[in-house]
Chain A
């Protein structure tokens, strides 16, 4: 019963994992590794999920904590400053249009922690929630978001 409930909730919320994985993974293999690692951690953490928060919020936290602590293969840590320099990492049944694809690519050029902050912001989380998620102050979140918006805007203009 618990297993079925877990799988149902994951299926309902797997868009969170897809989305986060796609802004952190640099290739299809890494994407698969990250997805598996998140599922594993979610499954292991499932007995401790008490339902105090929404499942989507809980899964978001597990996913971000997993992605930011996962050891990357050396060649995969690659920072660049141009949208043209990174692979689009298209998905088999992608429903992205060009604009959202460019936005996602721009987000992938931000630092790892800023990617998390922007992603949460785009998903409608309040600054106070993002601050609590990340372990930083509200003010710091506002400053970071402001800078990220500028950075993304500059990237999209190029």
Chain B
């Protein structure tokens, strides 16, 4: 095969241009997403802390403490994952090893992301419902929650919204990484299938 000569590509061959390249490596995008997760979780933790001192309802305070614990756990776990992701492409590994490592990393991230969501959704939904109800009715949470059917509405909301949020998160993740995972798996299967 002859080598192509392409002036446009050759013009990219200088160190400042190479250093300024925005990488599309999926693991780099995932690492970035962990960073944003940490930033958002820190921002919301600060917000919850402010709310904790403003709001008088003990139920909301309890929900905030739970949310803070979940967020802190989320920040720590995101930080661990962030540090552990190595997105540099190695020449020491075979194609199959590289494909498997990337597939594993993406799957681990998806699973961690979905699990974290399942912890946060119920507390956020219940806390928001109680706070919204108490403020809307200008009554204490005990009084608001003692109304007939309110507990039932909260349970229905939890039953509907938790799977809905989980499903939405799955759709968003599938949109971002679904096709990439399929291609990775196809290539792994292609290399592993020893059909003689």
Contact = CB atoms under 8 A, between A and B. Distances in A.
B21 A40 contact: yes
Contact of A71 (B8, B26, B195): B26
In which size bucket is the chain B interface? Answer: 35 or more
B84 interface: no
Interface residues of A, number: 64
Given A43-B19, A69-B99, A134-B96, A91 B5 contact: yes
A151 B3 CA distance: 24
Contact residues of A: prevailing secondary structure: helix
B196 A122 contact: no
Contacts of B54: none
B10 A14 contact: yes
Interface string B154-196: 0000000000000000000000010110011011001110111
B159 to A, nearest CB: 34
A23 to B, nearest CB: 9
Contacts of A64: 95
A135 B192 CA distance: 9
Interface string B90-133: 11111111110010000000000000000000000000000000
Contacts of B196: 139-140, 143
A61 B3 CA distance: 18
A65 B2 contact: no
B12 interface: yes
Contact of B13 (A39, A44, A68, A132): A39
7 contacts: A15-B3, A49-B91, A62-B91, A65-B89, A93-B7, A103-B1, A114-B190
